[in-house]
Structure 1
Amino acid sequence: MRYSINPKFLALEKRLLTIISNFDNQGEVLVKGQRNSIKLFTEENLVINIKSFKKPNLVNKFVYRFFRKSKAQRSYEFALELLKKGIGTPNPIGYFENRSLFTLQDSYYACEHLKYDLTYRELVETDYPDADNILRQFTQFTYMMHQKGVEFLDHSPGNTLIQNKGNGKYEFFLVDLNRMKFHESIDFKTRMKNLSKITPHKEMVAVMSNEYAKLSGESEQLVFNTMWQLTEDFQYRFYRKKRIKKKLKFWKK
């Protein structure tokens, strides 16, 4: 096994290795997805959140072994970079890879489990209290991220955890970190595209556009028109892909 552990958590090294070795048989299941799974493990006062990534296909097993960092390694390193930049994410603990001589077999990312009150998805799917205020603070968080050169490629509804700090204040934390780019600066269209996966609702885009325009100094109409067009483009591609998959499943039958 190849691994790296955050120096702050080195005292847990043996325990972490035991957890990874017994991942399939122990722990509390938090997410059981088709591709990835997440389990929780309690160690004294610490709850450890471990994501097991789907085993790569034959080609990627070789690619991740020699030419590209695994999703687990990228998640860990990107988390450390986000924290350096003052951007919220659960405290990274480490990453772990089971390797053979020529392939990557499987990989795991461990972080401190973060308690949260909602994700952005609740704003999209429900009539959530204080939604306008949360939307504006989320936009401020995203603008700050863009100003620091961070392009979060999976900036989608389920990947931002939100804590209610009281008195109308909220904090935001990014998860699912393995797809991310860091720039010296980010151009306007890339910024708008980065917000195109967040919501299909025009009224929410209008609120975010209003707030982003205030922060950036750009024309509100330009921000809205660009963000909404990119949102519509994304939604079209998303549902077209779903239709194609549905047709393929039908013909396979």
Structure 2
Amino acid sequence: MMNIRTSSSFAQDKVLEIISSFSHSGKTYWEKRNTIKVFDTEQGKWNVKSFQVPHLINRFAYKYVRKSKARRSYEHAEILLSKGILTPRPIGYVEYSNFVGLTNSFYVSENLEYDFNFEKVIDPNFPDRENILKQFARFSFKLHENRIHHFDHSKGNTLMCAKEDGLYDFYLIDLNRMRFEEMSYEMRIDNFNRLSLTDDMIQVIGKEYALLIGKDAAQVTDDIRKSCQKFHDFTVRKSRWKKRIGKS
């Protein structure tokens, strides 16, 4: 059984053509749990994300209980664009399932030619770094003010395109883990903790974000630092636990 939704009838035909040839064509951009490939089409380059086949419980859940990652990615992209938040233009999604549940799913969007992602800015010698960090703080504030809680607000999931006069466009990707809800102060602060921020980055972002929310810069900076440290400690403990389980 197949379910497909696309932005146009033309896109539907092309999406189905690409999905049918996905395993043996396209240029592979990423291949771990999920696979991302780029395809050349008459409408430009398209980015196609094939999600890992879920385990049995999630196969059932994604068909009968909640939306699949591919569907959420598409619908979240539409919501982001409606709120003035940039993300590569969504083209469609495809779901395959049987009586047990979801098997394969794909999300298709326009391929974005970007200049760099947030991870590059971690380098202390990256050009125009402080300016970029201040603009990133404003971008994060815009997300939070628009009730956008991106659970994967991490170093690889914000793409940046340089413009004129020292300005940058910020594009969100990896959209399936997202909730649209009022963001409390604590939620806003914790939303920075997956970014692998260094102390000097926290200082710049914290000060700029404090100005935007009308709070003391020292307090906001300290709260971001504590949240980042707490998340780091948690990931270290989790990694050690997985290693112990693997050895047992």
Q: TM-score, normalization: structure 2?
A: 0.96
Match of 1:5 in 2: 6
User: What is the CA distance between 1:224 and its match in structure 2?
Assistant: 1.0
Moved more, 21-30 or 153-162: 21-30
User: What is the CA distance between 1:56 and its match in structure 2?
Assistant: 0.3
- The answer as to whether partners of 2:15 and 2:92 remain within 8 angstroms in 1 is no
In the comparison of the two structures, how many residue pairs are matched?
247
- The answer as to whether partners of 1:200 and 1:232 remain within 8 angstroms in 2 is no
User: What is the CA distance between 1:244 and its match in structure 2?
Assistant: 2.1
Q: What do you get for the CA RMSD once the two structures are aligned?
A: 1.2
1:114-153 map, 5 Å: 114-125=112-123, 127-153=125-151
- The answer as to whether partners of 2:210 and 2:216 remain within 8 angstroms in 1 is yes
**Secondary structure in 2 matching 1:16:** helix
Match of 2:244 in 1: 247
**Secondary structure in 1 matching 2:195:** coil
Task: State, as a whole percentage, how many aligned pairs show the same letter.
Answer: 38
Moved more, 78-87 or 21-30: 21-30
Structure 2: gaps of 5 or more residues: none
2:222 equivalent to 1:222: no
Superposed CA offset, 1:74-105 (max 9, x none): 00000000000000100000110011123101
Structure-2 separation of matches of 1:17 and 1:201? 44
1:85-124 map, 5 Å: 85-124=83-122
**Secondary structure in 1 matching 2:114:** coil
- The answer as to whether partners of 2:6 and 2:12 remain within 8 angstroms in 1 is yes
- The answer as to whether partners of 1:72 and 1:95 remain within 8 angstroms in 2 is yes
Match of 1:209 in 2: 206
Structure-1 separation of matches of 2:188 and 2:171? 18
Structure-1 separation of matches of 2:123 and 2:232? 16
* Residue number among 33, 44, 48 corresponding to 1:46 in the alignment: 44
- The answer as to whether partners of 2:154 and 2:195 remain within 8 angstroms in 1 is yes
Match of 2:193 in 1: 196
- The answer as to whether partners of 1:200 and 1:235 remain within 8 angstroms in 2 is no
Q: Which amino acid in structure 2 is aligned with residue 2 of structure 1?
A: N
Structure 1: gaps of 5 or more residues: none
Superposed CA offset, 1:47-87 (max 9, x none): 01000000000111111110010000000000000000000
Name segments (4+ residues, structure 1) moved above 4 Å: none
Match of 1:156 in 2: 154
- The answer as to whether partners of 2:161 and 2:168 remain within 8 angstroms in 1 is yes
Q: Which amino acid in structure 1 is aligned with residue 7 of structure 2?
A: N
Q: TM-score, normalization: structure 1?
A: 0.94
* Residue number among 231, 236, 240 corresponding to 1:234 in the alignment: 231
Superposed CA offset, 1:16-48 (max 9, x none): 101112211111101111x10100111124101
**Secondary structure in 2 matching 1:166:** coil
- The answer as to whether partners of 1:199 and 1:205 remain within 8 angstroms in 2 is no
Match of 1:166 in 2: 164
2:62 equivalent to 1:64: yes
